[in-house]
Amino acid sequence: MKIILIDRKHEASRAVALGRWSLAFLSLVLLGVPVGFAGLGYHWAQPSWQPDADTVSLDFLQDEVDAQAQAVVELRAQAERRLQALSMTMAEMEARLLRLDAMGQRLTELSGLDEGEFDFSRSPALGGPLTTASGDSEKVASNDLIIEMGALETRIADREQQLELLDALLVNRQLQDDSYLSGRPIGKGWMSSAFGRRKDPFTGQSSWHQGVDFAGKAGSDIVAVAGGVVTWSGERYGYGEMVEISHGGGYTTRYAHNEKNLVKVGDIVGKGQVLALMGSSGRSTGPHVHYEVYKHGRPVDPASYVRRTQR
């Protein structure tokens, strides 16, 4: 390959012959210059500093540490809220236990029970072999509150059980007292005829009187001598208007010659409840109540029950 060089000043020309290697070198130079400038331009266009791998790893670890620290703060706040809630629950349980103790002690005193039979002033008796707590001290300490709450629950359950037994005992005693025959079937008046043999007021002949008579003012109250269930309320031959009550335990009472009955069959009546108004219905000579007591179906003298003191 030949390259012709022209000199315009002297208007002369010169031919230069290039060999194969010279031509290759010239081509490399001509192509390398643009590529070099392009590389420099790219280098100048990039940021002046690139973080290395170690720097990137440290930043990532710092972010993780910050996130974990925030999580610990949130967990601590949650734990404090839960601890506060548990403390409030324990305070409520303590107050509940104090009320149960006070009520139980008062009921025990009012019922006149033997000392020590129901004791609400002491903690329930506990026992068992000693065992060693497992786990580290922090774990054991964290369980103390839960253990204390469990102890409170045990004490409350013990008090509730005692109160249930005491309530059942008092109800049973109340039922026994309510069904205990005692006293007179009237508020005001006097006994006008006793139980046993007497002269019949209509015929004048000797007859058997299987009750007692209480005379009083017409229309005055006739009351139950014990609690029970009304098994008769209405007119009955010889008795006039009569009320009969079954008290359980084989006892039955009758209240006769009434002016008006105030209860009906099936009614549950309590001791001292008004059953009827005093009158003179049936075979009667004046306002009074004919009072009878039956034990296992046989009439007995009501006087012994009239003289009974109330429980």
Domains of the chain: 2-45 (no CATH), 59-124+136-178 (no CATH), 190-306 (2.70.70.10)
What predicted TM-score, i.e. pTM, was given to this entire model?
A: 0.50
Given a cut of 80, whether residue 300 has pLDDT beyond it is yes
Q: What mean pLDDT comes out for the span 205-218?
A: 91
Name the residue among 185, 280, 266, 272 with its Cα closest to residue 233: 266
Count CB atoms within 10 A of the CB of residue 169.
15
How far is Cα 225 from Cα 273, in angstroms, rounded to an integer? 8
Least confident of 88-92, 103-107, 269-273, 280-284: 103-107
Name, in order, each residue with C-beta under 8 angstroms of 257's C-beta and a sequence gap of 6 or more.
239, 240, 241, 242, 278, 279, 280, 281, 282, 283, 284, 288, 289, 290
Angle at 295 between CA 263 and CA 226, to 5 degrees: 40
Least confident of 50-54, 98-102, 265-269: 50-54
How far is Cα 105 from Cα 111, in angstroms, rounded to an integer? 10
How far is Cα 271 from Cα 31, in angstroms, rounded to an integer? 129
- Condensed to tens digits (0 to 9), the pLDDT of residues 1-28 reads 555 656 565 555 566 565 666 666 666 6
Specify whether the backbone of 167 is left (phi greater than 0), alpha (psi in -120 to 50) or beta. alpha
How far is Cα 53 from Cα 51, in angstroms, rounded to an integer? 7
In one-letter notation, the amino acid at residue 163 is L
Calculate the average pLDDT of the chain.
Answer: 76
Predicted local distance difference test score (pLDDT) of residue 86: 75
Name the residue among 220, 223, 272, 214 with its Cα closest to residue 243: 223
Angle at 172 between CA 166 and CA 175, to 5 degrees: 140
Q: Which residue has the higher pLDDT, 11 or 217?
A: 217
- Condensed to tens digits (0 to 9), the pLDDT of residues 119-166 reads 555 555 545 555 554 545 445 445 666 777 777 777 777 777 777 766
End-to-end CA distance of the chain: 148
Q: Which residue has the higher pLDDT, 220 or 85?
A: 220
